[in-house]
Amino acid sequence: MSALPTLDEDMEQGLSEAASDGLAGPAVRRARAWLSRAAEPGSVAFWRFVDDVGPVEAVRRLRSGRAPDVVRALVGARAGQDASLADLLRAERCDARLVVPEDDEWPAHLLHCLTLATGEEPDDPRHQSSRATAPVPPLALWVRGPARLDELADRSVAIVGARASTAYGEHVAGELGHQLGERGWTVVSGGAFGIDAAAHRGALAADVPTVAVLACGVDRAYPAAHGALFHRITESGLLVSEWPPGAAPLKHRFLVRNRLIAALTQGTVVVEAAARSGAQATARRAQKLGRQVMVVPGPVTSAMSVGCHELLRDPELGAVLVADAAHVVETVGRLGEDLAAPPERATGPRDGLSDLAVRVLDACPVRNGVSPERLARVAGCDVLDVLRVLPVLELADLVEATDAGWRLARGARAGEGRGVTAGEQTA
């Protein structure tokens, strides 16, 4: 058995390593493993530092004390420690792995809403959102289970709600989980007691994978009573966490975790929520990320539906009342159906785009990129709609992100001729 390379040796090598087969190189993965233990996720300043210099260089600077003071303060004494290889090995022992932004499996277009939202944060760290509310992308995700994260997230809905749920709420969450699963949608939730567990179990009963995003290591069962549930989830679906193996479910981590449940899904369904509850906060965060918020009503005599009704009464939230899985699919499926023309019938990249998508596309400049806010003004729609449409346009190679913002992709510019052809067909 050869001696394992030290972290610093790996980082020196990593400066020149290249990705292959859609997988990040080993140094990049080790760097992100180290970073995921070095600082608590959710810090705007820390994420920006890593984004600016790259993960390998970020580790080098933190290890050698050359990172900015604000960033060094977030790491503290952990700069001198290294459990990265141990964490990766510990993950491997429980069939988990670290998925990083450099991997093809990274759910890039869904998490892009966090990148955009973080771009709106002020420069001065003192004025940035706290970790509990900051819309910061994850630096890496520890993932346990046989499924591919990007594939499951691609067509997924979050079901969240009260831990102290009623039999009514659990019944509805279970039915939703089951019916969404049967319709080919992945249920994402937090693995907690109550609504979360009922939603996961409903999906499992439909024999489809489900995703639990945890606030502790993917090798820990929290709550402990859910050990068997988590085991069943990892047979076909995924446990996901920003925290390395062994990490404890500290209270503040649940708030930080909640943004991921919203970001990793097309929309969030709140099944039961008490007044001024965490589920309400999750719903509001989902809305801020441009995700559709859906709410299941209940008896007005039930304290566990008060929060749901508050959400439905808030005109600014724009939450949609949903009573069954068909309503949910109608809400989150709209974009996909509108955008996705059957491939065999498509004659050009713009064909099959929704009216909204076409307006956003037409608002994109050819040369200098502009902000989503600017696009919203030009397209005459809401900025949230723009944020929802841009990732899909990007996936279709119609738009591209530059440092200055969004602009038409080369392909879309070249494709204008084809657009005329398509137009002639209808003339």
Q: For binding to a second copy (CB under 8 A), which residues are involved? A: 168, 171-172, 296-301, 305-306, 309, 312-313, 320-321, 323-324, 327
Smallest distance from the beta carbon of 306 to a second copy, in angstroms? 7
Closer of 257 and 309 to a second copy (Cβ):
309
Closest CA to 142 of 255, 251, 260, 47: 260
Q: How far is the CB of 382 from a second copy (least distance, A)?
A: 14
Q: How far is the CB of 267 from a second copy (least distance, A)?
A: 15
In the complex with a second copy, the residue whose CB is nearer, 309 or 359, is 309
Cα–Cα distance measured from residue 291 to residue 307, given in angstroms and rounded to the nearest whole number: 19
Given a contact cutoff of 8 angstroms between Cβ atoms, the answer to whether 332 and 157 are in contact is yes
Q: 53 or 164, CB closer to a second copy?
A: 164
Among residues 40, 125, 27, 26, the alpha carbon closest in space to that of 78 is found at 40
Write out the two tokens for 350.
């713009």
Least distance CB 172 / a second copy (angstroms): 6
Q: At closest approach, how far in Å is the CB of 134 from a second copy?
A: 31
Nearer to a second copy, 212 or 335 (CB): 335
d(CA 50, CA 304): 41
Q: Which is nearer to a second copy, 238 or 296 (CB)?
A: 296
- Alpha-carbon span 194 to 278, nearest angstrom: 13
State the minimum distance, in angstroms, from the CB of residue 322 to a second copy: 8
Residue 343 CB, shortest distance to a second copy, in Å, is 32
Distance CA 98, CA 172 (A): 34
- Considering the complex, state which of residue 242 and residue 272 has its C-beta at the smaller distance from a second copy: 272
With respect to a second copy, which residue has the nearer C-beta, 246 or 297?
A: 297
326 vs 395 by CB, closer to a second copy:
326
**How many beta carbons lie within 10 A of that of residue 92, not counting itself?**
12
Task: Report, in Å, the least distance between residue 307 CB and a second copy.
Answer: 11
**Residue 273 or 361 having the CB closest to a second copy:** 273
Minimum Å gap between C-beta 299 and a second copy is 6
Contact (Cβ atoms closer than 8 angstroms) between residue 293 and residue 327: no
**Cβ closer to a second copy: 53 or 321?**
321
Asked whether 198 and 177 are in contact (CB, 8 A), the reply is yes
Least Å distance, CB 165 to a second copy, is 14
- Per-residue tokens: 153: 């997230």
Residue 358 CA to residue 98 CA, distance in Å, equals 37
